[in-house]
Structure 1
């Protein structure tokens, strides 16, 4: 049997990292219901995790084009491969306020999104997780050069 106290401590470290990493982490199931909503997402969207979990992502963010987003998730669910949404393709997936003082010239947070499959112990993909990176500073540099 493993070292239970150490495994328990590592579990708590993982939970702490997920909640405090400077990256949005969102888990959605195949019906697009939110399963996980980390601290970054709460801070930037203003939506508390207890208000997001269990709700369809499209109810929380009605500006997300449903058919387009479903097409983006299809290869993740069907083939188990990653999919990407860059700020150049679409400035944001989740309309979040820009909270960085240096880049206040933007009305919203530009985002780079990675959609990743989540496999069960049997290899089935029932959920995916989105990592949301704040790309506002990068976007403003590029946009201000035009």
Structure 2
């Protein structure tokens, strides 16, 4: 009985983690075409990977202001550093439904987004990945406190 090589097993684990982590993960290239779309994004946006892969982020999500978003990605591509979008700056980047039963009083998912550089083996940044965190519970608590 042969066992799978350790590298293949680790690769399988990584794919499983990316698809099942409670965090949106999207990879876009320098032309803003979607290269990776994980299970979190499918679940919350209602869009399947086969419907978005290879398409422009701005074509799929028309609510994202292109010039503003391109300015957010500039330090990631040019300097190789992270960039952040908090729900306080903009309630969401991707208009996703709120599916958490405890926080159903929100019409959409508030989000914190981190834009991370992805380096090639030679150190170039040709793509970036976005990590999208559901910040709805935190946002609603904060908004409730400020409205008192």
**If the length of structure 1 is used for normalisation, what is the TM-score?**
0.97
Which residue number corresponds to residue 134 of structure 2?
134
Cα distance, 1:122 vs structure 2: 0.8
1:40 and 2:40 aligned: yes
Per-residue deviation at 1:22?
0.1
After superposition, the C-alpha distances for 1:59-104 in whole angstroms (9 at most, x for unaligned) are: 1110000000000000000000000000000000000000000000
Stretches of structure 1 that go unaligned for 5 or more consecutive residues are none
The alignment partner of 2:28 has SS state of strand
TM-score normalised by structure 2 residue count: 0.96
Deviation for aligned residue 1:121: 0.6
Give the number of equivalent residue pairs: 144
Summarize the alignment of residues 67-146 of structure 1 with structure 2, pairs less than 5 Å apart. Answer: 67-146=67-146
Q: Secondary structure at the match of 2:72?
A: helix
Which aligned runs of 4 or more in structure 1 are off by greater than 6 angstroms?
none
Offset from partner CA, 1:105-137 (integer Å, 9 cap, x none): 000000000000000011111000000000000
Q: Secondary structure at the match of 1:59?
A: helix
Question: Any stretches of 5+ residues in structure 2 without a counterpart?
Answer: none
**Alignment partners' CA distance in 2, 1:29 and 1:7:** 26
Tell me the C-alpha RMSD between the 2 structures. Answer: 1.0
Aligned match of 2:53: 53
Q: Counterparts of 2:124 and 2:145 in 1: how far apart (Å)?
A: 45
Q: Is residue 2:11 matched to residue 1:16?
A: no
- Separation (CA, whole Å) in 1 of partners of 2:21 and 2:43: 12
